[in-house]
Chains A and B, each alone.
Chain A
Amino acid sequence: MNPIEEIVARKQVIVCAGSGGVGKTTTAAAIALQAAVMGRKTVVLTIDPAKRLASSLGLKDLSNEPSKVAPRKFQSASLKPKGELHAMMLDTKSTFDEVVMQYAPSREQAERIIANRFYKNISGTLSGTQEYMAMEKLYELHAQGAYDLLVIDTPPTRNALDFLDAPKRMNDFFESKVLRWFLMPYMKAGGGLMRVANVAATTFLKVVKRIVGGDVLEDTAEFFGNLEGMYEGFKQRARDVAALLRSDETAFVIVTSPSEDSVREATFFAARLNEEKLPFGALVVNRVHPKLGDGIDVKPRHLSKLEKGGKDARMLAKLLDNEEAFMRVVNLEEKNLDSLSRKVPRHKWVRVPYLEREAVDFPGLVAIADQLFGAPDTHVASH
């Protein structure tokens, strides 16, 4: 059975992960589309979709709530979905605001946090926030229980593993003792402690203040002051998310391209899933050059003879040249992918070749879905 079809039928959460530029978003959307066709009420959480892909799913702007993809989209592609497809784009800032609202002891405290400048910086730009919030949103959608299947795209980080560590990293960040110690002079109650802090810290703070300005340190102190009493809630949530990802309900789909860099990243990722006992579902290899034939054994003497021939012979020489070049790419890609077969058994692989159209509209997604749910990998290396 096709490994993706299998997880779509059995799981409740599918996480698509891989390094940037390998087609994670498209893969997630295509899996969700086909899941809906198969009869599951599905929601796909995309992170940063291309404009045309977003509009093909009916996503015009960030609403941070799922909206249903119109059935006529399916009809126009001659499909009759037995289930439903809902889609949303993650809005990191609103998700973070919702989390703060939920865990703050009072509305006033939540509002103070949300108005704080340091908070605005974290919720907008801190690396890791997007990953953290993707996990939060995933958890929230799962807890609501309104869908049979959640398919989630992960943020375009250089490192495919970042999102796994994001909740813990954020919690460590909030709870740092080092930071508290440094900020003591700025904390309201600790004004008199400036003298107690050692000379090094004082000197250093002076310099930092000169570089970034005093307000920045005050904002930071205020933010952490307001966060008191909320840590336990954050931590509990991070534990819950981790438990969900580890559970039987979840499957990870590793997305890669055959390029050396992304294969390396995918190999690390597969090893990491294994170490952490996270449930692996399938490997998707996107942007593969198709393998046609078994390679033609052309010698330079054949080519030089053809090049001196008539117009058909000259055309044939070009065709042979072209075939040789593509076979070279196919073999190199296969060589890159070989290292992955030691981590991921081939029957869990699905290849999506370069198609003759781009997957930037609904019919394009349908074409990708056809590939993803087709026969499992039969393209076994000839060597």
Chain B
Amino acid sequence: MQVDEFLAPRILIVSGKGGVGKTTVAAALALVAARSGRTVCIAEVDRKGTLPRMFRAGTLTYQPREMSPGVWGMNIVPEDALAEYLDVQYHMRRISRIFTSTQFVDYITTAAPGLKDILTLGKIWYLEQDRGARFDTIVVDAPAAGHMLTFLSAPMGLSDALRVGPVRRQAEWLLDMLRDPARSRVHLVTLPEEMPVAETLETTAQLGTKVGVASGAVFANGVYSPLLSTPERETLVDLVATGDLTILATEAKGAGLTLDEDDMQALVGYARFLEARRSIQTTHLRKLKKGVDEPIVELPFLFSAGLELPDIETLADVIEDEVADL
């Protein structure tokens, strides 16, 4: 698949369980889009501040801001979206400011829980319609998977509740946007572990039936690359079984490196650790592949505990390669 084809739907909704690297993947997808010459906006839906830190940009607000060339960031705040809506729709700028600044919005959104979601989706729609905006691609760093389904179902609830009127019509615009695979795709992020995979299987099953939004790819994050070839692994296993690792020290010495017993134990220990983690991951990747129809993009485990722009660039490279193979 060409990257252009992958990015043809302009709205990329990225979701997954907490802690799986949703924001990282959203950022990497944005870089892929920016590299292809697109101007892209990443919209944070549930403020957490991870995204601007990755780009070393300050706190994001409702006003999009360029974080790196071609990559903009914003934070969709439902209160701001409501103020903007009232302003555009009813020319109620001053009044709406008064009300949206009070707790009142909290009550109204509690009374109609889908309203916050509608307002957020409405803003995304507004960005997509290009009215005064300028984004070729909109990456939505969506709420965690469970909430994401509720989030995306909100317009359905509204269009069911209201039979007529302008709001009902607007709810249908949102549904049209979400249900058109040429306009929106949901990309799920997961880890090759028990809970995240189980949740991904549930979510993909519900996306189509409950929400009617087309899915894009499933990103399996943090996958360890294999280290040893099969014969090498066998050699190592035999070595460990004999309990004598001197051959490693001998080889090292030949290259001018001195290894003591602790060093050799660490070498073997980390190789075994990697193998153990990989075998857990392989099991869950297999379950994932069996359980979903979506193409799976494997992203490598990055040996860095804090994610910075170079790491995101690395992931963007991998996504470009893997998308080409889809």
Contact = CB atoms under 8 A, between A and B. Distances in A.
Interface in A319-365: 319-320, 322-323, 325-326, 328-329, 332-333, 335-336, 354, 356-358, 360
A173 B256 CA distance: 71
Contacts of B262: 293-294
A257 B248 CA distance: 34
Interface residues of B, number: 70
Contacts of B206: none
A150 interface: no
Given A50-B194, A207-B86, A309 B254 contact: yes
A204 B99 CA distance: 8
A122 B76 CA distance: 23
Contacts, number: 188
B88 interface: no
Contact of A326 (B104, B106, B231, B270): B270
B267 A320 contact: yes
B267 to A, nearest CB: 4
B235 interface: yes
Interface in A32-51: 50-51
A65 B77 CA distance: 38
Interface stretch (A3-11, A276-284, A298-306): A298-306
Given A200-B95, A217-B111, A220-B107, A125 B48 contact: no
A190 B163 CA distance: 29
A319 B269 CA distance: 10
Interface stretch (A81-89, A101-109, A138-146, A175-183): A175-183
A309 B270 contact: no
A328 B161 contact: no
A210 B167 contact: yes
Interface stretch (B14-22, B57-65, B128-136, B211-219): B14-22
A318 B228 contact: yes
Contacts of A203: 92, 95
B144 A219 contact: no
A329 B13 CA distance: 30
A323 B266 contact: yes
A309 B280 contact: no
A357 B280 contact: yes
A167 interface: no
B315 to A, nearest CB: 16
Contact of A220 (B98, B111, B265): B111
Interface stretch (A92-100, A226-234, A258-266, A366-374): A258-266
Contacts of A158: 18, 46, 48
Interface in A186-215: 200, 203-204, 207-208, 210-213
B241 interface: no
A226 B256 CA distance: 83
B256 A21 contact: no
Interface in B104-128: 104, 106-108, 110-113, 115
A184 interface: no
A144 B170 CA distance: 52
A301 B256 contact: yes
B102 A178 contact: yes
Contact of B266 (A124, A293, A335): A293
The main secondary structure of chain A at its interface with chain B is helix
Contacts of B90: 207
Given A50-B195, A309-B255, A258 B112 contact: no
A156 interface: yes
Contacts of A298: 257
Select the residue from A178, A309, A328 with max chain B CB neighbours within 10 A: A178
B302 to A, nearest CB: 9
A293 B98 CA distance: 62
Contact of A309 (B17, B231, B251, B274): B251
B113 A121 contact: yes
Nearest to B283: A358
B145 to A, nearest CB: 11
A210 B165 contact: yes
Given A303-B255, A323-B266, 15 more contacts: A21-B19, A52-B194, A158-B18, A182-B107, A207-B92, A259-B306, A294-B262, A306-B255, A311-B231, A312-B235, A319-B270, A322-B271, A328-B303, A329-B305, A333-B305
16 contacts: A51-B198, A52-B194, A176-B107, A204-B92, A207-B86, A211-B115, A290-B269, A290-B273, A302-B255, A302-B256, A305-B255, A309-B255, A318-B232, A319-B267, A332-B304, A335-B305
Interface of A: 19-22, 50-52, 118, 121-122, 124-126, 156, 158, 173, 176, 178-179, 182, 200, 203-204, 207-208, 210-213, 216-217, 219-220, 257-262, 289-290, 292-294, 296, 298-299, 301-303, 305-306, 309, 311-316, 318-320, 322-323, 325-326, 328-329, 332-333, 335-336, 354, 356-358, 360
Interface of B: 17-20, 46, 48, 50, 86, 90, 92, 95-96, 98-99, 102-104, 106-108, 110-113, 115, 144, 150, 161-162, 165-167, 193-195, 198, 227-228, 231-232, 235-236, 247-248, 251-252, 254-257, 259, 262-263, 265-271, 273-274, 276-277, 280, 303-307
